[in-house]
Amino acid sequence: MRNRTYILPSRSSSKSFTLIELIVVIIIVGILAAVGMTQYTKVVEKGRTVEARIMLGQMSKLAYQYWLENGQVDSIAYADVNVGTGVGQIPSACTTSYYFSYYVYGGTAGSLFRGKADRCLSGGKTPNGTGVYGDHYIILNSDFSTGSNTWQVYGF
């Protein structure tokens, strides 16, 4: 039998990480995750406001049909713009699947329609925008006689 001598690698040529290197990597990953999460929540909130604008646009189209048929929108009701609590209706109250509640907003006269979307705060649906709770809403003003639409967005 031959004598075999095993040579162990020296400590300096070891291919492992030190504790400091691991901690630095964990800190960098944590910072990147925090930045990514912030951006993600902003994108999600922006998507929710787009949904509200789409719903207000649908309400405006239905109000326009009402205006064409009746010549005014003074007496327009929630049902005329598909707002209610039924299946397939635009929600007039906060629900689990929608993040806004929708209203026919006061002061309608002649050919002016105002629709409002209020950001829901109940059920863990805290706004991710800036501002005071309750100050997160979108208003669409549609003047059918001139064909103009103006948007007012608050708190986002």
pLDDT in tens, 62-119: 999 988 998 888 888 888 888 887 878 888 887 777 888 898 875 556 888 999 998 8
Q: Determine which helix (DSSP H) or strand (DSSP E) holds 31, and give its type and residue range.
A: helix 19-70
Higher pLDDT pick, 109 / 52: 52
pLDDT in tens, 4-23: 777 666 665 567 788 999 99
Domains of the chain by residue range: 18-154
pLDDT in tens, 112-143: 899 999 888 766 666 544 444 457 889 999 99
pLDDT for position 129:
44
pLDDT for position 78:
87
- Per-residue DSSP letter, 150: E
Contact 78, 17 (CB under 8 A): no
Angstrom distance (rounded) from CA 155 to CA 49: 11
| DSSP one-letter string for 86-144 | STTSEESS--SS-SEEEEE-S--BTTEEEEEEEEP-STT----SSS-TT--EEEEEEET
Tokens representing residue 146 in the block: 């001139």
